[in-house]
Structure 1
Amino acid sequence: MKDSATLIEEIRRIYLRDGHHAYGLYHLNQLQHALQSAARAEAQGFSAALILAALLHDVGHMVHDLGHAPAEDGVDDKHEELGAVWAAARFPPAVSEPIRLHVAAKRYLCAVEDGYEAALSKDSVISLALQGGPMSADEQLAFLALPYARDAVALRRIDELAKDPAAITPTLDNFLQTYVDVARQTLTAQ
């Protein structure tokens, strides 16, 4: 396993290389969305693992070679799976599993919460169709039975709110220096 300094540098490289690309159809980029997500998780008092999951939940968009807007081309980039695989090699399940499940959480919320789907942005509606649409009743039960499903729902709610192009947040280095070691300690304790 990589030491924390090497891991922090790897994350910095990914976000400094690709974080400037647009986040969906919003007037912000991937890095701004990631920082806002982490700041919202921190403000809500979530664990270090969920704060890191919020920061890294869309890293899958930056570790594939499908371009910067595959959904607009009718392609589901499966960023949640790519991101979870990437995160699982570096962090405990408390970080990687909410990342893996945050798209399922969107599908779940669309199925169970009145008005949730109608409030989605245009790009989220496009990707929802590619991702399977709202969950069926059986899918909902299976989702809720998964470890970290509740964390994924919390992450999804944060994701929806982290889209303000004028938001002021702590820096990437601030989040990395504060939370990487704490989140990884749960991995060594297992």
Structure 2
Amino acid sequence: MTYSLAKILDILTAKGGAQYGREAVSQLEHALQCATLAESANRSAELISACLLHDLGHLIHDLGEDVADRGIDDRHEYRAIPVLATLFSPAVTEPIRLHVEAKRYLCAVDPTYWDSLSPVSKHSLELQGGVFSPEAAAQFIQQPYAKEAVQLRVWDDRAKVPQAATPDLNHFVPILNRCLL
């Protein structure tokens, strides 16, 4: 199926009200918070777009809700790539593809990072392969867009604040449009 930006925005609007796992925010609130953090840091339109769309894979699978509670890794970081790669460059899609591995990386290189994770994020980390070995961490960070994925991951972890003030989805449409292929 071919997706347009309008279709992706429709998915975010229609399905974004669903709870973000067992976190205290919805999928859309989480996406908007993550993108707002990137925008507030004066990052590129591509990284802001990646932050907004990084969890789209959760919204386009048919595995049902609470898949992590059932011990399933929905591999959301990969599910959205075929959809997004037809619309956006690797500067948008690669940080998305790598953001789960970035969590594994941060746990390997920062001894305090694990303690900062929510219980939900700790559980999903185990489903996603656990903490990288030192060798895997060194290989990960050498990949193109790995540093952007790590920054996305940091904002991803911070974007779980109930009722945080953010711009609405329409605010980010011009940014997404600037990134279209």
Whether TM exceeds 0.5 here: the answer is: yes
TM score, norm. by length of structure 2: 0.95
Q: Partner of 2:178 in structure 1?
A: 182
Task: Give the total of aligned pairs.
Answer: 180
Letter in 1 for 2:176: V
| Displacement of 1:86 | 2.1
- Residue 69 of structure 1: CA displacement? 1.6
CA separation in 2, counterparts of 1:99 and 1:85? 12
- AA aligned to 1:183 is C
- Equivalent-residue separation in structure 2 for 1:100 and 1:85 (angstroms): 11
Structure 1 unmatched runs, 5+: none
Q: Measure the CA separation in 1 of the matches of 2:145 and 2:35.
A: 17
Q: Work out whether residues 5 and 87 of structure 2, in 8 Å CA contact, stay in contact via their aligned partners in 1.
A: no
Displacement of 1:95 in angstroms is: 0.4
Counterpart for residue 101 of structure 2: 104
Q: What is the aligned-residue identity percentage?
A: 47
Task: State the secondary structure of the residue aligned to 2:61.
Answer: coil
- Equivalent pair of 2:104/2:125 in contact (CA under 8 Å): yes
The structure 2 residue matched to 1:165, chosen from 159, 162, 181, is 162
2:146 aligns with 149
| Contact 1:61–1:68 (8 Å) recurs in 2 | no
Alignment root-mean-square deviation, CA: 1.3
Q: Return 5+ residue gaps in structure 2 as ranges.
A: none
Letter in 2 for 1:145: Q
Structure 1 residue identity aligned to 2:37: R
Q: What is residue 47 of structure 1 aligned with on the other side?
A: 44
The answer to whether the 8 A contact 1:85-1:96 is kept is: no
Query: After TM superposition, where is structure 1 displaced by more than 3 Å over at least 4 residues in a row?
Result: none
After TM superposition, give the deviation of residue 172 of structure 1 in Å. Answer: 0.6
What amino acid maps onto 2:179 in structure 1?
A
| Corresponding position of 1:115 | 112
Deviations, residues 81-137 of structure 1 (Å, cap 9, x unaligned): 112232112100000000000000000001110111122111111110011111012
Cα offset for 1:182? Answer: 1.5
- Mapped partners of 1:85, 1:122: distance in 2: 30
Aligned counterpart in structure 1 of residue 91 of structure 2, from 86, 89, 94: 94
C-alpha contact 1:25 1:122 (8 A) present in aligned 2: no
